[in-house]
Amino acid sequence: MKVFKEIMSWVIPILVGLLVALLIRQFVFTFARVDGPSMEPNLVNKERLIVWRHAKIKHLSVIVFDAHGEDPTATKPKTDYVKRVIGLPGDTVSSKNGNIYVNGKAVPQKFISMSERTTGTGNWNLKSLSKSWDKNTNATKVPKGEYFVLGDHRSVSNDGRYWGFVPKKKITGVAKTFFWETNKTKRTNVNSLGY
């Protein structure tokens, strides 16, 4: 009996600790890793991120979401993408000469260079883009409960321009960088730009 009590005095705290860790990961935050160059220069391939599940999604927030069922090329469930939120529900979004406009106002894009703003961005609005999408054809605004996202490295990013919007239910959370992963400017560009 004494041996059993001794064993349980170790086992119960370990089980409780594992349960708490699992609940935190499921409901508070989780971790993700960048895959590919679509968020350069602010996030690089294989960079690790912490993802806050219930953080408020704002314009320019960097989010992690499951692209399966949204991007036709994401054929496997749980295919996580990391992108920047440009349009919130109800927003109009357009691009002209490298400038992005949300509801007619230019979005400050100091987080990427002029060449990154213009190369591969093109001139478009949601209606012109949506003509080639599988869903939301002829959209003029971001639908209720959905978001429009772009990668920072526009010329290589597979993002909302090509397949449409991200439903809130597919969003894991808002991504933040670790202070040891990158420099101050890049951390600010990922962690602090939301408005």
Q: Where are the domains of the chain?
A: 1-192
Residue 24: predicted pLDDT: 61
- Return the percentage of the chain with pLDDT > 90, whole number: 69
Asked if 160 and 166 touch (Cβ cutoff 8 Å), the reply is yes
Q: Give the tens place of pLDDT for each residue, 156-192.
A: 999 999 999 999 999 999 999 987 777 888 889 999 8
- Does residue 71 register a pLDDT over 80? yes
Q: Give the tens place of pLDDT for each residue, 91-124.
A: 999 999 889 999 999 999 999 988 888 887 889 9
CATH T-level topology, domain 1-192:
Umud Fragment, subunit A (2.10.109)
- 3-state SS class at 146: strand
pTM above 0.75, yes or no: yes
Residue 180, phi-psi category: left (phi > 0), alpha (psi -120 to 50), beta (remainder): alpha
Which secondary structure element, helix H or strand E, spans residue 101, and what is its range?
A: strand 99-102
User: Which residues are catalytically annotated?
Assistant: 38, 83
Q: Is the dihedral of CA 143, 146, 152, 158 positive or negative?
A: negative
CA 172 to CA 64: how far, in whole Å? 6
